[in-house]
A and B are shown apart, each in its own frame.
Chain A
């Protein structure tokens, strides 16, 4: 389902010759075959070794953080950062989890991420349905304008939004972040939902209409139930992006009580400026929700990134 979805959306973003994003996963495993009955071919082994070395290099930075989070500041200062720790040292994590601010950051980030993810997807469903099933004169252009919203750097609306929310007295609350993430999520959600709904046969909709259903019923009872993969893609993407966001809390929050996790770990850095182990533990704890999402929903995540690869 996702594969098919991938090819549809790519067609719409313009990358016509790129079929299903998810299909990449299947193809990579089974690329160019090795001839049967030929003499021993060393290349697969060479490629495997190359990839292993590269993978190790690629993992090194992440491994470094994990290792440092399991060590005391003393150990790190003595140059033992890159060795495997002999015994499990969990003080850093204990310290991080006991920090009252960290809890606040986590709660705030959830309070922003969950409603903003749901809100942007909800709006994307509505707009995507109209653009795919109820097109009208000029709807293509309108769609293009909405979708192009995801190309622009957020800096271009920073100042007016700051002024708007300060005028509304909402600075230093969670509202501006929720609202802006919903609004900035409309382009990608509309794009993916429109392209997914386009794969829903028109005959299904017409049959439902003939039976007396209205558009809302077609949307909620016919189109949405078969669009679960698209919703999963969007949920993983939006959750990760909003959770990881740094710019908007930087602009809209002032007090520690309103910070989200990514801004929070930056502001805690001063407190633990030489305590690299604690900083490492902080980074890991802050990344945990997105890592969990990545591990369990990797397929959707990759499909979504290839489809709506525009954001990032």
Chain B
């Protein structure tokens, strides 16, 4: 059974090119991690301005379980969650829990502050940047919420409006897993 060596070389080159392209694209995708791939990873640190003009880093909250909520003033579902978050901050705050809101819209700082005041927000609101959203896999859906344990690892993420119980379960898990992580250290 004779084979034309040129055909074999051609097939080999095609396979090699496909493997190279596949590996290259897979690597590229890893760099721009999808939110699901971030679970179990250290939450990307960031530095953003608060409504009060203070510079706030995520790493400032290391040791606490964090609910990181990307939202916008134009987002109706986000508006539903905010009163829940106010209550959850009160309920779980004493256990070492902190909610951080990151406003991802183009509204002015004054408008965001007005909105937050109307909602009675009792947790820091930071002025979001696309680069921060990108480091979390791109925030193409609002609300998007990440749960971070005391060790700074992402334990869960939720897209869109979820039931209150989903948030409570994730907060408890972030608090619990954080303790477990600390206990191992």
* B and A form one assembly: no
A interface residues, Cβ below 8 angstroms from B:
none
B interface residues, Cβ below 8 angstroms from A:
none
